[in-house]
Amino acid sequence: MEPLPAAAALPATRFDAERLRRMLANEADMSFKRRAEAVFRFIDVQPGDRVLDAGCGRGFYLNFLRALYPAVDVTGIELDIPLLPLARRVVPGAALSCVNLYEIPFADGSFDKIIFSEVIEHIPDDDKALAELYRVLAPGGTLALTTPNANYPFWWDPINKSLELTLGTHIQHGPLAGIWANHVRLYSLEGLLRLVTDQGFEVEALECHTHHCFPFIHNLVYGLGKELMVHGLLPDAMMQAADRFSLEADPYRGSPLNPVNLGLRVLNAFDRRNDTHPPTPQDSFLIIALKLRKPGGAT
């Protein structure tokens, strides 16, 4: 299958796109910001939509959905049981449950929009999971899918890229796992497009995100920074400045001399080159973002 051409960014409608950018301003993972913006552009929530976050994790998307669409009907499902109490604290009252994506306990066509972000690469039977998501998506509904690209930039994770190029292997677990951390596979663009179309989805938009990046950024943000935060080993001011779940519209919270804020300015400086020189499907890039449509529905 020939790759689709890169799609122009879809226009943001009905939600405060500028507020979303401010809410993401203190995010250290530059690719996370870009894929989150893509997800919200893709799902384009309308009044009365039923939204499913498939693999909701700690509740990031549910939290932002509630902020941007206060009346939206949101449901989160997650297989990793220890993450559910964290999500419930972040999004009180949201419908959350422990669910295996191979057997989703909802009727056919239960949801108008589905978020499936950074999940498929963790699933052994990706065909079966996609078939279930297709089933519970209403005809004409949208699924926003993001996943790491197998042809990722060298500097994003030089350790694994070097291992792949020289020894044909990678580190999948532990602090040096990098982009491969707990992933079953990474997808090529052609392979992912073939997978989703074989399940019946129509590809309505494709975006390629993040070629230019700070060296070793995955190891710094997740191998080091995230672990320090999870174990409460950072000072409170640094924890607050790096809080991914805060809804405060206050970029670079706290002192400009806060090490987190200083680091964010450096990372953003590297990332801005992705705006002036965006990657194409032929380049190395980090995130494949797809807007998928289930055929049918109102014409």
- What is the reported pLDDT for 183? 95
pLDDT digits (tens, 9 = 90+) for 269-284: 999 999 999 999 999 9
Residue 221 pLDDT class (50, 70, 90 cuts): confident
Residue 11 counted as domain residue: no
C-beta neighbour count of 230 within 10 angstroms: 8
pLDDT at 5 exceeding the cut of 50: no
71 pLDDT more than 50: yes
Closest CA to 220 of 161, 150, 158, 149: 158
What integer is the mean pLDDT of 226-253? 72
Domain count, the chain: 1
189 located within any domain: yes
- The verdict on residue 231 lying in a domain is yes
d(CA 141, CA 71): 19
Q: Which segments of the chain does DSSP mark as H helices, in order?
A: 17-23, 30-43, 60-68, 83-90, 126-136, 158-167, 189-198, 217-218, 227-230, 236-241, 259-271, 273-276
Lowest mean pLDDT among 78-92, 203-217, 225-239: 225-239
pTM, two decimals, is 0.90
- Domain membership of residue 7 (yes or no) is no
pLDDT of residue 252: 61
Q: Say which residue, 18 or 178, is predicted with more confidence.
A: 178
Residue 60 clears pLDDT 80, i.e. is over it: yes
pLDDT exceeds 70 at position 1:
no
For residue 168, tell me if it sits in a domain: yes
Greater confidence (93 vs 95) lies with: 95
Residue 4 lies in a domain: no
Q: Which residue has the higher pLDDT, 205 or 239?
A: 205
1: in domain: no
Average the pLDDT over 97-119 and give the result: 97
Range of the domain at 39: 17-293
- 12: in domain: no
Q: Across residues 65-88, what is the average pLDDT? A: 92
Give the whole-angstrom CA distance, residue 95 versus residue 48: 16
Structure tokens at 73: 């009907």
User: Comparing 71 with 289, which gets the higher pLDDT?
Assistant: 289
- Coil, strand or helix at 35: helix
Q: What is the CATH number of the domain that holds 193?
A: 3.40.50.150
